C-alpha cells in the first residue's frame, strides 16, 4: 500500500467505514508519521461527532465496575497458619522455645493488625480524596514553579467549600538532594501556616497529600518547600507556590 | 465533567497512574470521558450494551499499554474513536444471519434518514457544521459514522461507485474539520472520485 493509497483511506478508517484490508492499512499507519498526524486530526473531528449526540448518563454501577478494574490498596496477608511440631510438653527448653515462638507470633499479628488498619485508613482517605477530585464543584488552583518558570514541575491544590477535605498534588518534582524532602504548607488568612507533611514521591516526581479538617476557604496561599526536616512554618527553599509572585 | 480548571493532570498522566494502580487517577479519567462515551454507545447500540462497551474499553485501556499513544493525538479523540469502533464491531457482529428469526432483536436496523439523525444532534455547533456540508458529503459522513454503514454498503445504498463515496467522505471530513475550527467553508470543488 502506498502512502497515497493510505491517505485516501484514512477518512473511511476513522469513520469506521473502511472494509478493505485493515491489517495492511494499519501496518502502513504504524510506519508512516505523516499518516499518523492526519489520522489524529481526523479522529479529533469524529470525536466531536461522537460527543454531539444526546446525553445518556451511564448507570452509577458502571463507575464502580470500572474502578474495580484497579485492585484496591494491597492489604497484608493474614499470618500463615502454623503447625506446631510435636514437641514434648514436658521439656523445659522446648516449652521456653514454644513460649518465645508464641510471643513472636503475637507480636507479628499485632504488627499486621496495625498495617491492616493503616491500609484501611489509607483507603478511606483515598475515597475522600477521590470524591473531591471528581466533583464538578471542586476548585483547583495551580502551584507554579518559583525558581525556574520553565520547569515542568508543578502542582494543584483542590478544595471545595463545605467539604472538609483538601488535596495537594505535585508532579514532575526532581529528586531532592540527599537529606531533603518536599513539604506542603497551607497559608491561612490569619497569617498562620499549616504544615501538611512531607510528600512521598514516585519515580515521576508525583506525590499526593489528602488533608482532612478544613475546606480551604480561609487559605490564601499554598506552598511546597524543600527542606531537611519538618518545621512549624516554611524554612526551606520555596519550590512551588500559589498564588504566583 | 471534571474540576473547573482544565489544567489538572493530563490524560496521559492519569492513564499512566491508573495503569500503576491509582484508583483516583482512574476515577478522574472515568469522570472526564465515561459520560460522552456512554452517550455515543447508547446512541449506537442501545443503553443495555452501552455500559458493557464503555467497561470493555476501560479494560482494554488498562490491560494493553499499547492501545493509546499520546503521540497519536488527544486521549479524548482516541477514546471516542475506540468506543465508536467497538460499537460498530458489536453492530456488525450482532446483525442476524437468518432473516426469519422473528424474535431476534436487530441491533442495527437501517439508519434513520440522514436529516433526522442530524436534527437530533444535541450539540448545536456540530449540528450546524454538519448541516453546512454539501448534501452528498453530509450523507456519506452521517451514514458512515452514525449509521454504521461501511463504505461499500453506502456505495450500494446510494448506487454510487465506491471511489465516489471515498471522495465524499474525505472532502466531507476535511470540510467539517475546518468548520468546527471556525474556518470558512472552502470553495466547492468539482466532485472527485477516488479509485
Euclidean distance between CA atoms B185 and B11, whole angstroms:
32
Percentage of chain B exceeding pLDDT 70: 79
Nearest CA in chain A to B33: A51
Tens of pLDDT, residues B146-182: 999 999 999 999 999 999 999 999 999 999 999 998 8
Instruction: Using the predicted structure, report yes or no on whether residue B32 has a pLDDT greater than 90.
Output: yes
- H/E segment holding residue B15: helix B11-19
pLDDT above 50: residue B111: yes
Whole-model pTM? 0.57
- In angstroms, how far is CA A95 from the centroid of its own chain? 50
Contacts of B78 in chain A (CB under 8 A): 43
B134 vs A105, more confident: B134
pLDDT digits (tens, 9 = 90+) for B51-92: 999 999 999 888 876 667 776 688 999 999 999 999 998 887
Q: Judge whether residue B132 has pLDDT over 90.
A: yes
Side-chain half-sphere of A64: how many Cα atoms within 13 Å? 3
**Residue of A10, A70, A158 to mutate for B, most B C-beta atoms under 10 A:** A70
pLDDT of residue B64: 75
Residue B189 has pLDDT above 70, yes or no: no
Interface pTM (ipTM) of the complex?
Answer: 0.86
**Under the phi-then-psi rule, with left for phi > 0, alpha for psi from -120 to 50, and beta for the rest, what region is B69?**
beta
> Which stretches of chain A score pLDDT less than 50?
74-90, 119, 123, 134
Chain A residues touching B54 at Cβ < 8 A: 58, 62, 66
Q: Which alpha helices (DSSP H) does B95-181 contain, by range?
A: 114-119, 124-132, 135-145, 151-158, 162-180
Amino acid at each position: 500500500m502506498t502512502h497515497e493509497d493510505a491517505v485516501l483511506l484514512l477518512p473511511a478508517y476513522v469513520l469506521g467505514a473502511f472494509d478493505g484490508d485493515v491489517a495492511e492499512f494499519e501496518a502502513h499507519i504504524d510506519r508512516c508519521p505523516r499518516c499518523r498526524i492526519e489520522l489524529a486530526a481526523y479522529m479529533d473531528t469524529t470525536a466531536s461527532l461522537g460527543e454531539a449526540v444526546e446525553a445518556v448518563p451511564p448507570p452509577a454501577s458502571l463507575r464502580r465496575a470500572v474502578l474495580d478494574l484497579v485492585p484496591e490498596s494491597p492489604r497484608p496477608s493474614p499470618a500463615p497458619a502454623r503447625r506446631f511440631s510435636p514437641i514434648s510438653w514436658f521439656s523445659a527448653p522446648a516449652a521456653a522455645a514454644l513460649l518465645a515462638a508464641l510471643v513472636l507470633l503475637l507480636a507479628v499479628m499485632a504488627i499486621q493488625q496495625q498495617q491492616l488498619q493503616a491500609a484501611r485508613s489509607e483507603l478511606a482517605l483515598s475515597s475522600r480524596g477521590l470524591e473531591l477530585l471528581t466533583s464538578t464543584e471542586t476548585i483547583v488552583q495551580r502551584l507554579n514553579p518559583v525558581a525556574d518558570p520553565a520547569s515542568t514541575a508543578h502542582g494543584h491544590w483542590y478544595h471545595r467549600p463545605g467539604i472538609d477535605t483538601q488535596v495537594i498534588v505535585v508532579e514532575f518534582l526532581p529528586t531532592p538532594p540527599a537529606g531533603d524532602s518536599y513539604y506542603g504548607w497551607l497559608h491561612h488568612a490569619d497569617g498562620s501556616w499549616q504544615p501538611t507533611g512531607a510528600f512521598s514521591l514516585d519515580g515521576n516526581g508525583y506525590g499526593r497529600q489528602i488533608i482532612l479538617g478544613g475546606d480551604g476557604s480561609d487559605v490564601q496561599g499554598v506552598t511546597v518547600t524543600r527542606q531537611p526536616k519538618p518545621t512549624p512554618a516554611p524554612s526551606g527553599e520555596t519550590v512551588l507556590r500559589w498564588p504566583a509572585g | 465533567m471534571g474540576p473547573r480548571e482544565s489544567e489538572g493532570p493530563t490524560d496521559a498522566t492519569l492513564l499512566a497512574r491508573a495503569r500503576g494502580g491509582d484508583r483516583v487517577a482512574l476515577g478522574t479519567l472515568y469522570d472526564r470521558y465515561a459520560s460522552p462515551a456512554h452517550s455515543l454507545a447508547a446512541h449506537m447500540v442501545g443503553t443495555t450494551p452501552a455500559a458493557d462497551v464503555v467497561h470493555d474499553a476501560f479494560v482494554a485501556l488498562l490491560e494493553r499499554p499499547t492501545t493509546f499513544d499520546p503521540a497519536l493525538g488527544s486521549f479524548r479523540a482516541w477514546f471516542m474513536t475506540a468506543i465508536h469502533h467497538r460499537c460498530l464491531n458489536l453492530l456488525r457482529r450482532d446483525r442476524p444471519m437468518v432473516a426469519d428469526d422473528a424474535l431476534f432483536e436487530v441491533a442495527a436496523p437501517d439508519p434513520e434518514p440522514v436529516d433526522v439523525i442530524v436534527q437530533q444532534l444535541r450539540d448545536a455547533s456540530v449540528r450546524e457544521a454538519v448541516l453546512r456540508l454539501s448534501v452528498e458529503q453530509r450523507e456519506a459522513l452521517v451514514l458512515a459514522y452514525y449509521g454504521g454503514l461501511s463504505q461499500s454498503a453506502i456505495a450500494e445504498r446510494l448506487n454510487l461507485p465506491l471511489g465516489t463515496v471515498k471522495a465524499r467522505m474525505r472532502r466531507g471530513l476535511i470540510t467539517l474539520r475546518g468548520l468546527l475550527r471556525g474556518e470558512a467553508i472552502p470553495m466547492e470543488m468539482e466532485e472527485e472520485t477516488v479509485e
